[in-house]
Structure 1
Amino acid sequence: MPKREITKNSKITVYSVDSVEPEVAELIEQAKLAASQAYAPYSNFQVGAAVKLKSGKIVLGNNQENAAYPSGLCAERVACFSAKAQFPEESIDMIAIVAKQASAEGYTLATPCGSCRQSMSEYENIQEQPIKLYLLNAEGEVYESDSIDNLLPFKFSEKNLKSE
């Protein structure tokens, strides 16, 4: 069997935070604000997410930990679930995610966990348009993904539930 590329339509770009568009810079700043308010007494790892809706509204989320560890929730799902609960008819255009140790000054690259990737992918499916994702690293670089699918190429979706 010949080799074939299965991710040729994916696009992830890395560039300096100083060169982002103003709306992306604002979204990253909002994600930083959200991270600073995270409830992370067990891991001391603060994650913030800022979701920008089609209308321009921004909804924030941060990680919410719990002494019963599985009862906590990641920043990405807090933000997305909150956005869709408050504005169910609006599509999600973009999400910025930042993370840092509580005692650190700088941020570290932290990609969404599998549950968050699956949840965000569901919103792409529902709205039938990609969601741009922005991640900040410690060197002041921004990783831009033009779709959640880039992070979850073999996603589980409603197509898997249909019988033939």
Structure 2
Amino acid sequence: MSPLTQLFETAKSARERAYAPYSKFQVGAAIRTKGGKIIAGCNVENAAFPEGVCAEGGAISAMVLAGETEIAEVLVIADAEHCSPCGGCRQKIREFAGDDVLVHIADLNEVKKTYTMADLLPAGFELKKKV
């Protein structure tokens, strides 16, 4: 199975476990870390809107918990023609990903579009660490 297919299948499976009783809009995400791990996340809604968690944010939290802090590739999937990460998630991804990291957007059948982080968030916040 190709790395992209593995991301797709992982995100698709995560999407099926999403908790979306209000919007009925399930989203899954999968991250491939620089260390080679594939980590999934799904959206989790809450009655106290907007206090839910996006799929990307859930995957990033799981990634950090697994001891990884560098994203190599991301795939987001929904039952929609185009469901790209929201602005907040773009910044969350950027915290752990360089400008050249690929973010794939998929419907339930295939990848529809691929962006780089530079395309999605050309002027994101970045902490400049002092040497």
* TM-score, structure 2 as length reference: 0.87
Match of 1:153 among 102, 122, 129: 122
Return closer, same or farther for 1:55/1:122 CA change in 2, 3 Å cut-off. closer
In the alignment, is residue 76 of structure 1 matched against residue 56 of structure 2? yes
The runs of 4+ residues in structure 1 deviating greater than 4 Å are none
| C-alpha displacement of 1:57 | 1.3
Is there any run of 5+ residues in structure 2 with no aligned partner, and where?
none
Q: Say which SS state the counterpart of residue 79 (structure 1) adopts.
A: helix
Which letter maps to 1:157? E
Which letter maps to 2:117? I
Return closer, same or farther for 1:45/1:77 CA change in 2, 3 Å cut-off. same
Q: Say which SS state the counterpart of residue 123 (structure 1) adopts.
A: coil
Name the larger-Rg structure.
1
CA distance in 1, matches of 2:110, 2:27: 16
The answer for the alignment partner of 2:90 in structure 1 is 117
Cα-Cα RMSD: 2.3
| C-alpha displacement of 1:130 | 3.5
Alignment of 1:48-127 (within 5 A): 48-88=28-68, 90-100=69-79, 107-124=80-97
Is there any run of 5+ residues in structure 1 with no aligned partner, and where?
1-20, 101-106
- Structure ranking higher in helix proportion: 1
Could you give the per-residue CA deviations for residues 22-46 of structure 1, whole angstroms, max 9, x where no partner exists?
A: 1101111110000000000000000
* TM-score, structure 1 as length reference: 0.71
Q: Which has the higher contact order (CA 8 A, sep 6+)?
A: 1
